[in-house]
């Protein structure tokens, strides 16, 4: 297995990950950051199976993303390729694969209760679990990011794609934000990464 892959996950997880990848004969490629996803899984035309993971993830998010994608492969192999991508078969497979990693030798103590809660019913993306996503982000190398929940009311911010919004009221879980150019209302997760701008 590539050294860079091993270097991207916690030391205590490396042997277990190596065993899984060897048994599953998966190709894992590390890619430049993609804003819309942390990783993906697909079957290649030659019949082999490939996982890609973003290179900019911290070691804990990298591990969770890697196991998330391995769960897609194993769920398809065990059941069939027509199951829902994040349905019950995938959830059960993800829980089963992740359980051996949920210990203090692998993850920091402050993450373990949040991970335990998350894995009772894992979502399609750990980013939709706001508490866990924010806790994971504290381990990022570049930790000078601003999140929607930190933006003051009626202040403007910009997304990575250049679109500018004004922050409005908080609903139950998400924030109402109006796109300045179109006047359309959008709902943002609290942990969406943004850049403050002055208009």
Q: Which residue has the tokens 């993850």?
A: 107
Answer yes or no: is pLDDT of 3 > 70. no
Q: Cα–Cα–Cα angle for 154, 155, 157, nearest 5°? A: 130
Q: Can you read off the two tokens belonging to residue 122?
A: 């894992």
Report whether pLDDT(7) > 90. no
47: left (phi over 0), alpha (psi -120 to 50) or beta: left
Name the 3-class secondary structure at 114.
Answer: helix
Q: What percent of the chain has pLDDT over 70?
A: 96
Most confident of 3-7, 37-41, 95-99: 95-99
Instruction: Give me the architecture of the 146-196 domain, per CATH.
Output: Roll (2.30)
* Mean pLDDT (whole number) for 130-152: 83
pTM over cut 0.85: no
177: three-class secondary structure by DSSP: strand
pLDDT at 133 over 90: no
**15, 92, 137 from 20: Cα distances, Å:** 9, 17, 26
Fold held by 3-137: Arc Repressor Mutant, subunit A (1.10.10)
- Tokens 């993609």 belong to residue: 34
Tens of pLDDT, residue by residue over 14-52, are: 999 999 988 888 889 999 887 778 899 998 899 889 999
Domain locations in the chain? 3-137, 146-196
Counting Cα atoms < 13 Å in the Cβ hemisphere of 116 gives 8
The 10 Å Cβ neighbour count of residue 113 is 12
52-117-82 Cα angle (round to 5): 45
Structure tokens given for 185: 């209302």
CB-side exposure of 160: number of CA atoms within 13 Å? Answer: 8
Give the chain's mean pLDDT: 89
Q: CB 130: neighbour CB atoms within 10 A?
A: 16
User: pLDDT at residue 80 above 90?
Assistant: no
């Amino acid at each position: 297995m590539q050294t860079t892959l091993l270097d991207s996950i916690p030391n205590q997880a490396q042997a277990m990950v190596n065993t899984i990848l060897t048994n599953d004969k998966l190709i894992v490629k590390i890619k430049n950051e993609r804003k819309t996803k942390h990783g993906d899984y697909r079957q290649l035309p030659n019949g082999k199976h490939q996982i890609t993971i973003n290179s900019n993830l911290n070691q804990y998010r990298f591990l969770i993303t890697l196991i998330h994608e391995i769960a897609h492969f194993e769920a398809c192999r065990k059941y069939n390729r027509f199951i829902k991508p994040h349905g019950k078969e995938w959830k059960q497979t993800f829980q089963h694969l992740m359980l051996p990693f949920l210990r203090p030798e692998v993850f920091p103590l402050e993450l373990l209760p949040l991970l335990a809660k998350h894995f009772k019913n894992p979502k399609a993306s750990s980013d939709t679990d706001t508490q866990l996503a924010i806790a994971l982000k504290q381990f990022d190398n570049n930790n000078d990011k601003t999140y929607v929940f930190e933006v003051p009311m009626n202040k403007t911010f910009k997304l990575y794609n250049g679109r500018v919004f004004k922050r409005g009221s908080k609903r139950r879980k998400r924030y109402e934000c109006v796109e300045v150019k179109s006047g359309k209302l959008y709902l943002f997760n609290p942990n969406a990464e943004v850049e403050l701008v002055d208009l």
